[in-house]
Amino acid sequence: MPYDPRLVQPMREELTRLGVKELKTVAEVDAVLGDPRGTTLVFVNSVCGCAAGTARPGLALALQHAIRPQQLTTVFAGQDLDATARARQYFSDYAPSSPSIALFRDGEVVHFVHRHMIEGRSPQQIARELTEAFDKHCATAAAG
């Protein structure tokens, strides 16, 4: 059962104020992930304070990096249920977890950060992992 929307709104805004686009419906997910061109990050948001509480700041730090994915998106697990389920169909090789982060390049998942890779890590450590992935997978796409 979803939480009170008023409770999760700050968790949404922590990402949207970074320029991350919320995908709240199946149609919105398909409009973005159905187009395989370029690089797209999908942040599976969560109310979990343990992991999401460091993952969101980690993403914020990573987005200060010069090289970034072309599209930044998020779905909210446990809140926007249909949109999250649809997004997960695009990375169905990976077990569902939240928070988690998928990085696509030309329709393929090229990097995936599971919840177990977030737990107990600092925002700085998470940001480092993300920026290394951005450098590896987004540099030429951004230049192109």
Nearest C-alpha neighbor of 82 from the set 124, 125, 28: 28
Q: What angle do CA 74, 78, 79 make, to 5 degrees?
A: 65
**What is the amino acid identity at position 109?**
V
- Exactly one of 30, 60, 125, 142 binds other proteins (CB under 8 A); which one? 125
- Exactly one of 15, 20, 51, 55 binds other proteins (CB under 8 A); which one? 51
Give catalytic status of residue 50 as yes or no: yes
Shortest approach of other proteins to residue 99 CB, angstroms? 12
- Exactly one of 46, 54, 74, 131 binds other proteins (CB under 8 A); which one? 54
88 forms part of the interface with other proteins (CB under 8 A): no
120 forms part of the interface with other proteins (CB under 8 A): yes
Nearer to other proteins, 68 or 111 (CB): 111
119 forms part of the interface with other proteins (CB under 8 A): yes
* Interatomic CA distance for residues 109 and 74, integer angstroms: 15
Nearest C-alpha neighbor of 46 from the set 108, 114, 131, 105: 114
